[in-house]
């Protein structure tokens, strides 16, 4: 049976943690080997690696699972991540319909290394009893008795927010998770949820990359001022910032229908990709590594890029050792601003094009 959370634990949660970012090695538990360049955010004595591992791709055919890679690669990626000092592992019940959680759980069985294990509840019917039932299923798939972080995957405006956070309260109260988080929440909704819960909602997992820098306006300043954490998913804009794609040569799978990978979208992103290439060439690294380094240069940010090979994982982790200069950060921000202006025009063009097609078939 998992341990019960006492009132003293609640006090710990309320106090949970200051805005320190340490460049240090996490506890060398279970004989783990750690990457010297990795950086960590200290949360109540726990070390959260600023580069984590996003696990959406595990078991998900839309990301090439079963075609480009499979179970053996998935297990090897998780285990190598732990060896390299990656502590944050993020999955969700909806990824591969539970397959991602099962693969992560299998990889962790007998594996060394410190870890901060996170998963997410899809709040279609976010009643407390439903959340608790789903949480128990996630724990079973992951092969653990409790989590480090349990998150509401999306806002659900059809149910009162107080009802939704009540499930998180029960999860904390029964000791099934150490911390709770939300995902895709605005700042106002994040704050309101925390007020209703009465203890810190440690994290907000949002889309954050150089093509989608909106979290820098309000979410990041809030996290940095209060000791919360922003977890950045899609930190490479699903590969658009890797420099591998160009107009006429986009990706397949779940990304092929994204407006970002249309000819117009890739052209709009070109100034950002070019700025990344220029900085990468001067440092003998890759554009993807520079894009990740930009995000983790911001305090209280954890990035969770996915990986479909050990080599890709190792390249992502190496980004933690890159310290960008002020002029490089400025160049990337300026390129990001150019994309934003171009993307507004592209979005309008795509909307008009889609509307015209609908009208012509009606």
Helix (H, G, I), strand (E, B) or coil at 342: helix
Active-site annotation holds for 233: no
Q: Out of 95, 179, 185, 208, pick the active-site residue.
A: 95
Q: Which tokens belong to 250?
A: 């986009």
Closest CA to 19 of 325, 230, 180: 230
Query: Rounded CA gap, 278 and 23, in Å?
Result: 27
Are 308 and 68 in contact, with CB atoms under 8 Å apart? yes
Are 201 and 175 in contact, with CB atoms under 8 Å apart? no
Phi–psi pair at 349, nearest 5 degrees: -65, -45
Query: Rounded CA gap, 75 and 58, in Å?
Result: 9
* Strand residues in the chain grouped as ranges (E): 21-22, 40-43, 46-49, 53-54, 88-90, 116-121, 147-152, 177-183, 203-207, 229-233, 301-303
Using CA atoms, how far residue 247 sits from 62, 238, 264, 287, 328, in Å, is: 21, 16, 8, 18, 26
Active site residues: 95
């Amino acid at each position: 049976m998992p341990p019960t959370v006492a009132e003293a634990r609640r006090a710990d949660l309320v106090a949970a943690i200051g805005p320190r970012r340490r460049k240090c090695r996490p506890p060398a538990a279970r004989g783990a080997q750690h990457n010297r360049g990795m950086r960590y955010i200290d949360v109540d004595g726990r070390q959260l690696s600023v580069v984590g591992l996003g696990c959406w791709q595990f078991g998900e055919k839309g990301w090439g699972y079963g075609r480009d890679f499979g179970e053996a690669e998935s297990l090897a990626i998780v285990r190598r991540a732990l060896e390299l000092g990656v502590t944050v592992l993020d999955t969700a019940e909806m990824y591969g319909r539970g397959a991602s959680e099962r693969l992560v759980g299998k990889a962790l069985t007998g594996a060394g290394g410190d870890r901060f294990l996170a998963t997410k509840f899809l709040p279609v019917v976010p009643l407390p009893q439903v959340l608790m039932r789903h949480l128990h299923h996630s724990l079973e798939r992951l092969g653990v008795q409790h989590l480090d972080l349990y998150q509401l995957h999306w806002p659900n405006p059809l149910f009162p927010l107080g009802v939704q956070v009540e499930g998180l309260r029960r999860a904390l109260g029964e000791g099934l998770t150490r911390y709770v988080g939300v995902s895709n929440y605005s700042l106002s909704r994040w704050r309101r949820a925390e007020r209703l819960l009465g203890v810190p909602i440690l994290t907000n997992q949002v889309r954050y990359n150089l093509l989608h820098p909106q979290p820098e306006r309000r979410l990041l300043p809030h996290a940095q001022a209060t000791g919360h954490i922003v977890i950045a998913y899609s930190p490479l804009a699903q590969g658009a910032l890797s420099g591998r794609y160009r107009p006429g040569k986009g990706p397949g799978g779940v990304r092929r229908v994204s407006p970002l990978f249309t000819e117009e979208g890739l052209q709009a992103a070109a100034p950002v990709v070019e700025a990344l290439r220029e900085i990468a060439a001067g440092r003998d690294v890759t554009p993807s590594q520079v894009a990740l380094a930009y995000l983790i240069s911001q305090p209280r940010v954890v990035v969770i890029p996915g990986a479909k090979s050990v080599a890709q994982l190792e390249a992502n982790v190496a980004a933690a050792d890159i310290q960008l200069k002020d002029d490089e950060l400025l160049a990337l921000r300026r390129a990001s601003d150019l994309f934003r202006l171009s993307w507004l025009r592209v979005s309008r063009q795509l909307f008009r094009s889609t509307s015209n097609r609908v009208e012509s078939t009606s």
